[in-house]
Each structure stands twice: as structure tokens, then as C-alpha cells.
Structure 1
Amino acid sequence: MRVVIAEDSVLLREGLARLLADGGIDTVGFAGDGPGLVAAVAEHEPDLAVVDVRMPPTHTDEGLRAALEARARRPGLPILVLSQYVEQQYATELIGGGAEGVGYLLKERIADVAEFLDAVRRVAAGGTVIDPDVIVQLLNRRRHDDPLESLTTRENEVLALMAEGRSNTAVAARLRVTEGAVEKHISNIFGKLGLEPAADDHRRVLAVLAHLGR
């Protein structure tokens, strides 16, 4: 696996590279700011970009905005965001705009090396890894009441299996119902959670985030 690291702290990015190397993962490029990340992705075509949210010049959200730009230029680029806090606007855009190959972890999680390397591999393989604290903050922004309370028992079962990453076929097999029934339940879930079809939202992921943040 080939990785680009975008982090303005030399010590931290070297430390990340060392952790990745210990896990058999090659770091092929570094970036110290947003434009550097976009350029490094274009040059190296990595399997994954590990990105800090706060980067020069303002140290607010430049890294996350650059990650969105890099992903727009190279659709499907796996992005693992590392941060000390949650930047809600751009995090929602990153996660909701097609969440395959997206991760958002708080930096304190790096202390668990095995968990960090597992997250790197899962995101690079197209999975989604979202820190529980990130989920809570994003849902608090979206939620005025709790629409999850309106779900039926069967709809909750379907949503729980979706949260395990199961396909409609797998959900149908587990619940011993038809795929058509599963699709109907999922449609009902979207409706009750107010998740209307939109080009910028991945409704299945947003529904799972709501379930996980309950």
C-alpha cells in the first residue's frame, strides 16, 4: 500500500510514517499544506491520503478542504482524516458525499497502533471508519428531535444490520425475508429519518451514522 501524509508538524508526520512502515505500509509523499496535498496526490497517485484538518496558513480547516479537492480531482481516493477536533461542515461533506473509502479519527486514537493500522487498511480498501465522538457531534448538528424513535422493530433490525456493513442480500438472508422487503424497510427508514435523495448525500451512510450515534 502506498500512502501520502499531509501534516504540517514534521515530528508527527515522521512518526506516522514510522508507524505505517512498521505495519508494512509505504509512505510515498509528504505535504505540509493543502496545495501540497493536492499536488502530492496528483504526483504519486497513492492508495490512501492521511490528512490533518488544521494546516497552514490559518490552521483551521485547510487540510479537510484540500482533501475534498483531491478527492474531487481523483474520485474514489481513500481519505483518512486525523484531527484533534471535529470540523462539522466539511466533515459532513466528506462523509456524506460518498463515504466509501473515508475515515475520520481523532488523533488520540493513534495511541492504539493496532487500531490505527486497521483503520488505514479498512479505509484504503474502501471501508468507512468514523470515530464515535465524530458521529455524536455530526448528529447533534443534524438532529432537533429523535426520528429513530419512530422506527418499527423490524426497521431497527434492518438498520442495525446495515450498520454492520451488510448488503441488502445479506440483511434479507439474516432476517429470512425477501430483498424486496428489505428495500421497502430501507425506504421507510430513509423517509422517517428525513433523508431525501440528494446528489451530495449518501443516505445509507447517514442512516447508519444516526443509528450508531443513538
Structure 2
Amino acid sequence: MRVVLAEDLGLLREGLVRLLEAHDIEVVAAVDNGPGLLSALLRHRPDLAVVDVRLPPTFTDEGLRAALAAREQIPGLPVMVLSQYVEQLYARELLADTRGGIGYLLKDRVSDFREFLDAVRRVAAGGTALDPVVVSKLLGRQERDVGVRRLSPREREVLGHMAQGRSNAAIGAAMVITEKAVGKHTNSIFAKLGLLPSEDDNRRVLAVLAYLQAPPDPDRAR
């Protein structure tokens, strides 16, 4: 796997480079600013971009904007955001593009390097890895559309775990239910959201996107 890394803190950047390369992941470029990130992504066309949100020169949202700009020219470029902040506007825009894997982890919540490496590999393979806090913040101002409003509380809980990139077995363990029960909930979610079986689309990703992007339910807001 080939990775482009963007992190402005030198010590953390070097630490991430060492960690990735120690596990047979080649870091083809490690940059510390937004323009450098975009240039490196377009030059190397890596298997994954690992991106901080706030990079020089303005320390606002350069990392995410560079990742979005790169995906316009490299459709499906997998992006793993690793940041201290949840930048809601550009995060939603990133999630709206269903081509390629997407991850968004908060630095201070990645307590285990194995967890981080698992997320990196999952996103590079086209999956998702969303921190629960990120999911919560993205849902904070969102409403549910008709399909999502039809989900039961249990099904919404399953979707929340699904958004974090968990397998059915892991969801079952977290919810203390059987993997078979998770499968039934998942099939019900797909049916209510109108997500028919397809060889091209990842229905789990599409279900998560429907959940995150849906409009407010006035009845639940009261």
C-alpha cells in the first residue's frame, strides 16, 4: 500500500511515518501544508491519503479542501482524515462522494495503533472508519428523511455502529446480540432505505450516507 501523509506537527508526522512503514505501508510523501498535499496526491496517486484537517498556511481546513480537490482529479481516492477537529461542512462533502473509502478519526481517541492500522487498511480497501464523536457531530444538525425515519431505534443503533466501519460480528458484540440478529436488522435497514442488492454499490456505505445526510424529523425535534 502506498500512502501520502499530511501532518504539520513534525514529531507526529515522523511517528506516523515510522508506524506505517513498520507495518509494510510505504509512505511515498509526508508533507506539512495544504498545497504540498494536493501536489503530492496528484503526483503520486497513492492508495490512501492520511490527512489532517488544519494545515498551513491558514490552519483552517486546508487538509480537507486539498483532499476534495484531489478526488476531483482522482475519482475514488481513499481518504483517511486524522484530526483533532470535526470540520462538518467539508466532512459531509467528502462523505457525499461514494466512490472510494472514507475515514475520519480523532487523534486523541486513537488509543491503539492496531486500531488505527486496521482503519487505514479498511479505508484503503474502499470501506469506512468513522469515529463515534464524528458521527454524533455530523448528525447534530441533520434530520432524517422518510426512509431513515422508518428505522426502529435498534436499527438506528446498528447504523451508528456500521458508520464506524464495524463488521456484523463486532456490532453484535457491542450491542450484546447475535450476529444473526445484526444481519436481520441490517437487511431491514437496506429494505427501508430502498437499497437493493448491487454488484457495484456498497450498501453499507450508502446506508450510512443516507443516515448522515438525511433532513430533520420535526416530530423527533420537539
TM-score normalised by structure 2 residue count: 0.71
Q: 1:160 to 1:78 in 2, by over 3 A?
A: closer
Aligned partners of 2:49 and 2:80 also within 8 Å: yes
RMSD of the alignment, in Å?
A: 3.4
Question: Separation in 2 of the partners of 1:183 and 1:143?
Answer: 19
| AA aligned opposite 2:121 | R
Identity %: 53
Matched with 2:155 is 156
Question: Separation in 1 of the partners of 2:189 and 2:81?
Answer: 33
Matches within 5 A, 1:28-43: 28-43=28-43
Partner of 2:141, secondary structure, is: helix
Question: Separation in 2 of the partners of 1:85 and 1:95?
Answer: 16
Question: Separation in 1 of the partners of 2:190 and 2:120?
Answer: 31
Partner of 1:187, secondary structure, is: coil
Aligned partners of 1:80 and 1:120 also within 8 Å: yes
Matched with 2:93 is 93
Matched with 2:131 is 131
Matched with 2:80 is 80
Greater Cα offset, 101-110 or 144-153: 144-153
Question: Separation in 1 of the partners of 2:108 and 2:24?
Answer: 22
Matched with 2:193 is 186
Unaligned runs of 5+ in 1: 189-201
Aligned partners of 1:109 and 1:116 also within 8 Å: no
Matches within 5 A, 1:137-176: 137-143=137-143, 150-151=150-151, 156=155, 163=162, 175=184
Unaligned runs of 5+ in 2: 169-179, 196-204, 214-222
Partner of 2:129, secondary structure, is: strand
Greater Cα offset, 52-61 or 105-114: 105-114
Q: 1:23 to 1:149 in 2, by over 3 A?
A: same
Question: Separation in 1 of the partners of 2:116 and 2:2?
Answer: 16
- Displacement after TM superposition at 1:35 (Å): 1.4
Matched with 1:192 is none
Deviations 1:78-128 (A, max 9, x none): 100011010110011111222641000000234310000001000000001
| AA aligned opposite 1:133 | V
- Displacement after TM superposition at 1:17 (Å): 0.4
Question: Separation in 2 of the partners of 1:4 and 1:60?
Answer: 20
Matched with 1:66 is 66
Question: Separation in 2 of the partners of 1:183 and 1:83?
Answer: 31
| AA aligned opposite 2:207 | R
| AA aligned opposite 1:2 | R
